[in-house]
Structure 1
Amino acid sequence: MTKENNLTINGSGSYPGGEYDKISIRGDGTIVNDVECSIFHVYGTSEAVENVKAGSIKVFGEAEVKGNLQAEKMLIMGTMEVGGRASLKNIKILGTLEVGEDLTGDEANIKGTISVKGDVEYETFESTGGFEIKGLLNADKIMVSLRFGESSAEEIGGGVIHVKKKSSFVPFVKDTGTLTAKVIEGDDIYLENTKADIVRGKIVKIGTGCQIGSVEYTTELMHDPGSTIKTKTKL
């Protein structure tokens, strides 16, 4: 693509879709058709009426894609809303991401918050922020550090699932981060501050602050005396 394929929006208006090299939105821009580009940067307010496919996306302001979104790399410092599916290979969320259907990719690093109405599937999922997942969170490696608020997923599945509370840097502030799920299933599970109906795994370690309905394990179960487990079953 040549330089003439760049789209820069400094004011306000609607623009056609198509193929571009770089799209930079500093004002208030609407893209009315499917768009494909190498770089998509939003410093102001952006709305894409249909689908977006990009190599690299950075959102410092507010962006909305009403259709599906596909990207190799994404950094969100502001807010991003996707109406359909989001296929985002490598994401770093420092702001807010909302997805209307499924979210998939390779590596997810959540320092802000995500809200997903479908399933979330990654190879590695790391969160030190918060998440609300209406469907299944599935990843080979799930590392969650609970700092604030309530994170939740309908079900959580993976190889390694480690959930730990993170100490607050602010004095006199009580750690309030919690995780809630109906089912948590994996090979190597360690949980703190977690509420779950069923926990199922090979090696299961229940740390502090947990309320578990039943634990089913095949190899090993460790249980902090301060947490509650209603039933324990070795398979």
Structure 2
Amino acid sequence: MRDISIEGVGSVSGGEYNKISIEGVGSISDDIKAVEIYIEGVFNCNGRIESDFISCEGVATMNEAIRANRIDISGVMTLKEANLEAKTINCEGVIKSNAEISADKTVVDGCIKAAEIVGDEVIISHTPGRASRGIRKLFGISSENLSSIGLIEATTIRINDAKVKIVNGENITIGEYCEVDDIDCTGKLLIHPRAKVGRITGVTAEYSEEI
């Protein structure tokens, strides 16, 4: 398998690759398989992607399904009706998805706006300075709630500073400044006093500032 690198403006043909590097402006119109994909520039993809590892430090727009073992995002990734499936997702940048994000473990320390996140473990937090106010505004993420999700469903869920419609899980921790409409918990439920929670089913919640 061969390597391909785009430093100016170019496109990648469909097929199998060892390493794909996008440092300029690149596009793909067919399905690809690659061991590694590095996005440091601007990338637009209209084909399905299968990869062991994807790193996005630039701006990527995905219009078809993505499947990978590991995905690291410190830039901006937009998924337009494209499902994202991985074993591990680490995001310190911005994810915007209109479809399903599925991973064994999803860790977000930035901003995420998604329809659904499902998996075994979901952790959403925010470190000041990770994503600028301008980026949040550009992608429709308010400063009051840095992350906005329709549904989170996982065995273990821990969220801070997020607005979520429905949270379903076994062990759930709702941190400060969260807003959650509905929670269904089958194990242990911890809620910070500064979180706003609507309906709770399954268990009785414990309230603590030590979370």
TM-score normalised over the length of structure 1: 0.77
Give yes or no for the alignment of 1:116 onto 2:79.
yes
- Higher RCO, Cα 8 Å, sep 6+: 2
Partner residue in 1 for 2:153: 185
Aligned to 1:92: 55
Between the aligned partners of 1:183 and 1:124, the Cα distance in structure 2 is 19
Cα distance change on mapping 1:128 and 1:169 into 2, 3 Å? closer
Structure 2 residue 3 is matched with structure 1 residue 39:
yes
Inter-partner Cα distance in structure 2 for 1:116 and 1:81:
10
Q: Aligned letter for 1:163? A: I
Q: Is 1:166 matched up with 2:127? A: yes
Which of 118, 137, 144 aligns to 2:101? It is 137
Counterpart CA distance in 1 for 2:164 and 2:114 is: 10
TM-score (norm 2): 0.85
Unmatched runs of 5 consecutive residues or more in structure 1: 1-36
Does the aligned pair in 2 maintain the 1:78–1:95 contact within 8 Å? yes
Identity %: 20
Deviation per CA, 1:113-151, whole angstroms, max 9, x where unpaired?
1111211000000000001111110100110002xxx52
Q: Are 1:203 and 2:171 an aligned pair?
A: yes
Is 2:48 aligned against 1:54? no
Residues 159-218 of structure 1: CA distance to partner in whole angstroms, max 9, x if unpaired? 111101112389xxxx94611111100011000111111100000000011110111101
Q: RMSD of the alignment, in Å?
A: 2.0
Query: Which residue in the other structure is 1:157 paired with?
Result: 118
Measure, in 2, the Cα distance between the counterparts of 1:111 and 1:81: 17
Distance 1:138 1:210 in 2: 22
Cα offset, 1:70, TM superposition: 1.9
Q: How far apart, in 2, do the equivalents of 1:193 and 1:88 lie?
A: 31
Q: In 1, Cα distance between the equivalents of 2:115 and 2:9?
A: 32
Secondary structure of 2:193's match? Answer: coil
Query: What is the CA–CA distance in structure 1 between the aligned matches of 2:130 and 2:83, rounded to whole Å?
Result: 32
1:119–1:136 CA contact under 8 A, matched in 2: yes
Q: Structure 1 residue 53: deviation in Å?
A: 2.4
The aligned residue for residue 64 of structure 1 is 27
- 8 Å CA contact 1:46–1:62 kept in 2: the answer is yes
